[in-house]
Structure 1
Amino acid sequence: MYSEQQRTDEPADGSVHFSVLGPLEVLRDGVDYAPSAPKVLALLAVLVMRPGKMVHIDTLIRELWSDNPPRTVRTTLHTYVYHLRRCIMQNDLAEDAEKLLATKQSGYTFNIDPSQVDTHRFVRLQQLGYERQAAGDHAGAADACRAALDLWSGPPLANIHCGPVLSAYRTELLELRRSVLHLRIEAEIVSGRHRELIGELRSLTTGSPLDEALHGQLMRALGRSGRRSDAMAVYRMLRTRLAGELGVEPCDDLQSLHRELISEGDHR
């Protein structure tokens, strides 16, 4: 069951884990020990992004200062590393702060296990969702995806002013979330929960007016609910918007779905 998989990945009581699917938090027993200084927090985010792997010093400099580093950039970076280690030590987050945040010849390694980061649990549940969908267990796939989405508390790294490195990472996370959302909705449509999805899909398409995949799912949910005319109205509205804003027609999948709706009407 997905719940068993989720419990396997969750940190034990008293251990430290890191949340990036929302504000960056350093959590132990429900208390957040993340540093408050913006640059130190951004430094931590880049290190958490690559748990247990060396992050090159140039990557850290690019994130913290983009193309305008100070003359004393390496000294300043060492100071931020010192403050992060001090935060670790003062809050008793590790037995040895220098072993947890280890200095390497060309960068730093944050020696945490990937399972201590909420993205690890998110990806595991995402994979479980795809496996269950492929096996025909659509309700189980929806459950796994729902558990993955429940890990999110807001936009990723919401409390950080992201530079180029973290901005790219945040974009990647948002795309992963979007794929899991689409999979969850697809699994629920196939498992027969199409009527319950209509309100949510209308809200989602309003927020993403050019997302053709979401509009296609709304059309299918409406069509399966006996609301063929509403489904076709969704197609017409999207087609008008795509033509007006982008100068393109709906994708082939949507055009095929539209033809299917017309054909169903002709055969009634």
Structure 2
Amino acid sequence: MLTWGTLGLLEVTRDGRRATPTAPKTRQVLALLLARRNTLVPIPVIVAELWDHNPPRSATATVQTYVYQLRKLLQSDTDTAAESGPLVTGATGYVLRVGPGEYDAQEFERLSAEARAAFDAGDERTTADLLDSALARWGGPPFADVTQGPVLQAHALRLEELHMHALELRIAAGLRLGRHRELVGELKELACAYPMHEWFQGGLIIALERSGRRSEALQVYQRLRDLLREELGLDPSSGLQQLRQHVISDRVSAADLDLLPG
């Protein structure tokens, strides 16, 4: 069985043994095929990903060599025919066949979608459990050790956005479950890492206030307002301003999550 990992370092295992290619261009081809898994990737798309606007004259032949190397690496001992492994040659390109449960990014998206449905149905505990499992698959930025052309960059950015949304949703579920004290530390780290991300700042304000730390909550708002004015010439969103008033008047609740942008 093959497993594919891209949420962090590129990792491929075959029957429990590491089968990750080491050559940079070969790794890049594999990452592209994973991003477009179970779909034909035309050779010109691969060439553009590898060399952008300056491909060598031998680009097509070189891609064929990379695919040959990948096919040898990925085939198991029982794959006797050239096309019996996961990498298949089509009329104009190549398809990487990836089955259910094999690819970490695909599993992350599946679990995140199930969590969103659970949250919309009012089941915060299931939401939190599903997202704990989904987020545990992350070991760092997608394709962290792979050179990224335009397709991989776009795919990685999309996964990063999904990761941020999953973090927000898990924290929202936790706050609705009354886990504000448990979440303060994580929210402080996120607020420090993303100082102008209003959702994380707002989540921290709510968690602090509901933990009896009102002065700290107001300090978070003040820092955000000062930073936004200095960097962008803007004030916090109207929802954040309303949240501040709720802190001052001691009226903060989990419902204030609806005030946060995003």
With the length of structure 2 as denominator, give the TM-score of the two structures.
Answer: 0.90
Aligned residues of 1:182 and 1:214 also touching (Cα < 8 A):
yes
Q: Does 1:197 align with 2:183?
A: yes
Q: Does 1:166 align with 2:166?
A: no
Change beyond 3 A, Cα 1:191–1:126: same
- What is the one-letter code of the residue matched to 1:37? A
Aligned residues of 2:14 and 2:74 also touching (Cα < 8 A):
no
State how far apart, in whole Å, the 2-side matches of 1:97 and 1:141 are: 43
Deviation digits for residues 136-173 of structure 1 (CA, Å, limit 9, x no counterpart): 22122111111100011222112212122111111111
State how far apart, in whole Å, the 1-side matches of 2:80 and 2:98 are: 13
Residue in structure 1 matched with residue 195 of structure 2 by the alignment: 209
Structure 1 residues 76-85 or 208-217, which shifts more? 76-85
SS of residue in 1 equivalent to 2:219: helix
Structure 1 residues 113-122 or 59-68, which shifts more? 113-122
Residue in structure 2 matched with residue 116 of structure 1 by the alignment: 102
Per the TM alignment, residue 95 of structure 1 is displaced from its structure 2 partner at its CA by 4.7
Flag structure 1 segments of 5+ consecutive residues without an equivalent.
1-14
Aligned residues of 1:51 and 1:113 also touching (Cα < 8 A):
no
State how far apart, in whole Å, the 2-side matches of 1:207 and 1:224 are: 22
Q: Does 1:231 align with 2:217?
A: yes
Aligned residues of 2:33 and 2:41 also touching (Cα < 8 A):
yes
Identity of aligned residues (%): 42
Per the TM alignment, residue 107 of structure 1 is displaced from its structure 2 partner at its CA by 1.5
Aligned residues of 1:156 and 1:170 also touching (Cα < 8 A):
yes
Q: Does 1:38 align with 2:24?
A: yes
Q: 1:157 aligns with which of 122, 143, 164?
A: 143
Per the TM alignment, residue 233 of structure 1 is displaced from its structure 2 partner at its CA by 0.9
With the length of structure 1 as denominator, give the TM-score of the two structures.
Answer: 0.88
User: Once superposed, which parts of structure 1, at least 4 consecutive aligned residues long, lie more than 3 Å away?
Assistant: 91-97
State how far apart, in whole Å, the 1-side matches of 2:192 and 2:121 are: 32
Residue in structure 1 matched with residue 127 of structure 2 by the alignment: 141
Per the TM alignment, residue 93 of structure 1 is displaced from its structure 2 partner at its CA by 8.0
Per the TM alignment, residue 114 of structure 1 is displaced from its structure 2 partner at its CA by 4.6
Question: What is the total number of aligned residue pairs between the two structures?
Answer: 250
Residue in structure 2 matched with residue 244 of structure 1 by the alignment: 230
State how far apart, in whole Å, the 2-side matches of 1:97 and 1:126 are: 36
Aligned residues of 1:16 and 1:93 also touching (Cα < 8 A):
no
Q: Does 1:85 align with 2:71?
A: yes
Aligned Cα root-mean-square deviation (Å)? 1.7
Q: 2:169 aligns with which of 171, 180, 183?
A: 183
